[in-house]
Amino acid sequence: MSVQKTAKAGGFGNWRSKMINPVLDKEFRLRMRSPRAMWTLFFYLLAIGLISLSAIYLTQELSGRSGTYNPEESRVLFYFLSFAQLGLISFMAPGLTAGVISGEREKQTLNLLLTTQQSSTTIILSKLLSSLSFMVLIVISTLPIYGIMFLYGGVSPKQLLLVFVFYLFMMLVLGSFGILFSTLLKRTMISVISTYGITLFIYAGTAILFFIMLSVWQQAVNNQGMTTSSYTWIGHILALNPATALYSILEPSFSDSVYTINRWNGGQTKGAPMALWQEFMIIYSVLSALALWLSVRKLRPRLKKK
């Protein structure tokens, strides 16, 4: 009996050693076992819960109804919480990942880490997963808050699932960019600024570029005297924006509307080639993989050839 227990324990230990390497294990212990992590999680859930309950109460008071709740108002609350969570992810992910490699370099511990048996890929992925793990815990812990809206209707489980999958993907994207800048740049401050800069461009820059190109396209359409709806490639620019990609999950018809310039007398419109959030995930999957590959390649110093 004891031999079987020993064998099971040994098997579990081997599985654990393969799944959780020393770098990942150390990072998990440092990030998850501190009182600050517990209180951060507590106050965040408290704030989200109070915001949700306050929004429900104010909605009922402003509408003049008591004891009833409109499913349409529940959908609006769901939209609000979804974009609030996206803002949190976009704010936290660069700060959590932009200093993981440059911080080791500043503390002069990177060379010691590189002399271990861990490969560059293991180090990069372990740093990425450990940095994003606490944020994943925070986001998943808000599921009971979202459950309040299911009591009133207006939100489908499929939408909720897609929104949380999008959150996890967004963490990976911004974390990959943060790891890249942390590897390429030697100073943590410069790395953080660069990561927040690319995040700002992903949100504001793509939106501004879309409106500029849309204005130019509409002017060209007016000069040509076209009187029917015209399909335009400009909608692909919005596929680079996380906010519009999330909104396309909440409102599936939004994807079709951004690819068509509607004229005053109508006409037959052409639908989107795919949903904005699907195109977003395809594009940024490639960019994230490229960022991680470059991070692995640039992690270890290379001798210059004479």
Is 153 within a domain? yes
The count of domains in the chain is 1
Is 305 within a domain? no
Mind listing the pLDDT tens digit for each residue in 194-208? 999 999 999 999 999
For residue 266, pLDDT over 50 is answered with no
pLDDT the model gives residue 5: 47
Query: Domain limits at 98?
Result: 17-299
Higher local confidence (pLDDT), 6 or 53: 53
Structure letter (DSSP) for residue 270 = -
For tokens 């944020």, name the residue. 135
- Of 216, 222, 211, 218, nearest to 244 by C-alpha is 211
C-alpha 292/C-alpha 298 separation (Å) is 10
Is 114 within a domain? yes
Is 38 within a domain? yes
Give me the sign of the Cα torsion angle 20, 26, 29, 31.
negative
Model's pTM, two decimal places?
0.81
Is 214 within a domain? yes
Burial 200-237 (b: 16+ CB within 10 A, else e): eebbebbbebbeeebeeeeeebeeeeeeebbebebbbb
Is 241 within a domain? yes
Is 11 within a domain? no
pLDDT the model gives residue 195: 92
For residue 56, pLDDT over 80 is answered with no
Is 304 within a domain? no
Integer-rounded Cα radius of gyration of the chain: 24
For residue 268, pLDDT over 70 is answered with no
